């Protein structure tokens, strides 16, 4: 896994990559509060199997892609970054993998641009419509699980997390279930107010539970869900199959939490590699 950086359409992108650029590209999208670093265990495995793997840092997280305007974090902008990176790499078609917010973007990309994708692999995040339905279903607890999003969208969270030398941020990362070994990596990124605000602007401008997504997913899809996910309920996870009309595989990892690429890496990587080669 090596540092990666490109400039295209007047925008800079950075992150990590592994493998031969001549091979089929696998683009990996991270979530919050994480960075491209979350894919460090999968990137070398992809390279070993003959893929070219690219894990970019998202808007806000990346120090070289941190627009000031909140409107620059709308879903269309996030999807545009995926297209821009693929086009720059010369990947007319490619494999897309997403976790957390990266999963939300990946679902949207697959629905809107299915001809660009060879496969879709989603970790943790349910299909947006399934997510939206669960939010409004009083028989499940998704609304309660998602209450943190209103806090994220508010105008006091930066001050709360960064006060007392970012002690609130340290506590937040720990309470969210980030492993103790990984907390320092993500703390160093988000202790910068611009990085924190940019990443929170995803919640303020985009919606992982967009109920207006009309197109069915026709791309061959793998969805992996951890049954102990504290943020995303099992009802929406299981209901995501309803919105996939092509090949679809759903995998539940019993006892796994939300941070699948790092904390359930061995099982996740096996499933993803199998899906890419099917």
Residue 139 is given by DSSP the state T
* pLDDT of amino acid 113: 98
Cis amide bond preceding 96, omega within 30: no
Per-residue confidence band for 135, with pLDDT thresholds at 50, 70 and 90? very high
| The architecture CATH gives domain 2-277 | 3-Layer(aba) Sandwich (3.40)
User: Alpha-carbon distance 29 to 38, whole Å?
Assistant: 9
User: Alpha-carbon distance 128 to 160, whole Å?
Assistant: 29
User: Alpha-carbon distance 190 to 172, whole Å?
Assistant: 11
pLDDT 10s digits, 31-41: 999 999 999 99
Confidence check: pLDDT of 223 > 90:
yes
Q: What is the mean pLDDT of residues 59-82?
A: 97
Q: What is the mean pLDDT of residues 162-183?
A: 95
Q: What is the pTM of this model?
A: 0.97
Mean pLDDT of the chain: 96
Residue 273 vs residues 18, 25, 46, 89, 278: alpha-carbon distances, Å: 15, 13, 7, 21, 9
What residue ranges do the domains of the chain occupy? 2-277
Confidence check: pLDDT of 253 > 90:
yes
């Amino acid at each position: 896994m090596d540092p990666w950086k490109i400039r295209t359409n007047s925008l800079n992108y950075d992150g990590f990559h592994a493998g031969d650029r001549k091979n089929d590209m696998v683009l990996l999208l991270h979530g919050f509060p994480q960075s491209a670093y979350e894919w460090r265990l999968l990137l070398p495995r992809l390279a070993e199997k003959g893929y070219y793997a690219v894990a970019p840092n998202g808007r806000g997280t990346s120090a070289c892609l941190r627009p000031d305007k909140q409107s620059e974090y709308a879903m269309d902008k996030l999807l545009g970054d995926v297209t821009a990176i693929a086009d720059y790499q010369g990947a007319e078609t490619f494999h897309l993998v997403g976790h957390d917010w990266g999963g939300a973007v990946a679902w949207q990309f697959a629905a809107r641009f299915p001809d660009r994708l060879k496969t879709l692999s989603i970790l943790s995040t349910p299909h947006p419509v399934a997510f939206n339905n669960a939010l409004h279903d009083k028989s499940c607890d998704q609304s309660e699980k998602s209450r943190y999003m209103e806090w994220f969208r508010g105008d006091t969270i930066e001050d709360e997390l960064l006060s007392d030398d970012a002690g609130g941020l340290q506590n937040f990362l720990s309470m969210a279930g980030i492993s103790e070994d990984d907390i320092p990596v993500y703390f160093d990124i988000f202790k910068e107010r611009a990085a924190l605000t940019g990443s929170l602007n995803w919640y303020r401008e985009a919606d992982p539970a967009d109920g207006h997504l009309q197109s069915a997913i026709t791309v061959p899809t793998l969805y992996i869900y951890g049954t102990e996910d504290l943020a995303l309920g099992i009802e929406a996870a299981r209901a995501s199959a309803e919105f996939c009309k092509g090949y679809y595989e759903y995998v539940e990892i019993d006892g796994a939490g939300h941070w699948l690429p790092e904390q359930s890496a061995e099982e996740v990587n096996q499933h993803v590699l199998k899906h890419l080669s099917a």
